Amino acid sequence: MTRPSATLSIGPVLGIGEIEPGDDLAGIIARQSQLADGDVVVVTQKIVSKAEGRLVPVGGDVAEQRRRIIEEESVRILRRRDELVISETSHGFVCANAGVDFSNVRSGWAALLPVDPDRSARRIRDGLRAATGRDVAVIVSDTFGRPWRRGVVDVAIGCAGIAAVLDLRGSLDANGRALQATEICLADEIAAAAELVMGKASGVPVAVVRGLDSTWFRRGSVAAEIIRPPGEDLFR
């Protein structure tokens, strides 16, 4: 039985500025925020990829280069329509264009997904602890489309220090019957919530969520908890 949470607050972290390969993301976030134990720091994939140097040049025939990069980053193409490719990445994410970003990156470059976004989250978390002494969780978020529903939402591609999926199996509802929807994708809900204060066009790449249930904080892994193995997936 989870307790209803107290009121949550979600605030943008301003003044992060342009991130370059090699930048100390944790140090920059620590300087621009006032973290407390139990905060969840949500960091968009783009600045993580930039700090990690996951940038590739897009020169010559841009459309052709774009296609090549997306195919290199895909292990399987699921659907293709005009410029849009829905594919599975080496991580197991199914998303548009293999998660390769061509906007909010310097002209002539594209940003690839981090090699291991859970590891990226762990590194930022460790860096934040070293810089602030605070025990926080970190979620690396990205913007994905969905089948059947228009519009994109932010989801978690990596996490550290918080459950990716909250397992309520065995819990009973208010009438004592077994709960039906029992595995809540907590990390995706937190990533979506954080997007509400980021604003795609305003370049706020970090937000802090404060007030989440303390029982939800544990190691956590998007790869281990959220990626659905192809064998149990009805749509792959």
- From the list 193, 217, 219, 223, which residue makes contact with its own copies (rule: CB under 8 A)? 193
By the rule CB under 8 A, 12 interacts with its own copies:
yes
E strand or H helix that includes residue 111: strand 109-111
Q: Is 22 or 231 the residue whose CB approaches its own copies more closely?
A: 231
Beta strands 166-167 and 183-184, pairing class: antiparallel
By the rule CB under 8 A, 82 interacts with its own copies:
no
By the rule CB under 8 A, 175 interacts with its own copies:
yes
Furthest-apart CA pair in the chain: how many Å? 64
Nearest to 17 by CA among 3, 1, 35, 31: 31
Cβ pair 223, 118 in contact under 8 A = yes
Report the site for its own copies in 196-235 (rule: CB under 8 A). 196-204, 212-213, 225-228, 233-235
Report the site for its own copies in 26-65 (rule: CB under 8 A). none
Q: Is 135 or 213 the residue whose CB approaches its own copies more closely?
A: 213
Tell me the β-bridge partners of 89: 74
Q: Where are the beta strands (DSSP E) in 37-97?
A: 40-44, 55-57, 74-81, 84-89, 94-96
Task: Give the SS3 label for residue 43.
Answer: strand
Q: How many residues bind its own copies (CB under 8 A)?
A: 82
Q: Is 31 or 76 the residue whose CB approaches its own copies more closely?
A: 76
19: number of Cβ within 10 Å: 18
- From the list 22, 59, 60, 103, which residue makes contact with its own copies (rule: CB under 8 A)? 103
- Minimum CB–partner distance for residue 211 and its own copies (Å): 8
Q: Is 59 or 177 the residue whose CB approaches its own copies more closely?
A: 177
Cβ pair 160, 138 in contact under 8 A = yes
- From the list 76, 178, 214, 218, which residue makes contact with its own copies (rule: CB under 8 A)? 178
- From the list 105, 116, 119, 129, which residue makes contact with its own copies (rule: CB under 8 A)? 105
Angle between helices 117-132 and 25-32 (to 10 degrees): 50
CA distance to 34, 61, 194, per residue, from 114 (Å): 26, 25, 20
Q: Is 56 or 168 the residue whose CB approaches its own copies more closely?
A: 168
Report the site for its own copies in 132-171 (rule: CB under 8 A). 143, 145-155, 164-166, 168, 171
Q: Is 9 or 133 the residue whose CB approaches its own copies more closely?
A: 9
- Minimum CB–partner distance for residue 130 and its own copies (Å): 26
The number of angstroms, rounded, from the C-alpha of 76 to the middle of its chain's C-alpha atoms is: 21
- From the list 106, 115, 133, 218, which residue makes contact with its own copies (rule: CB under 8 A)? 106
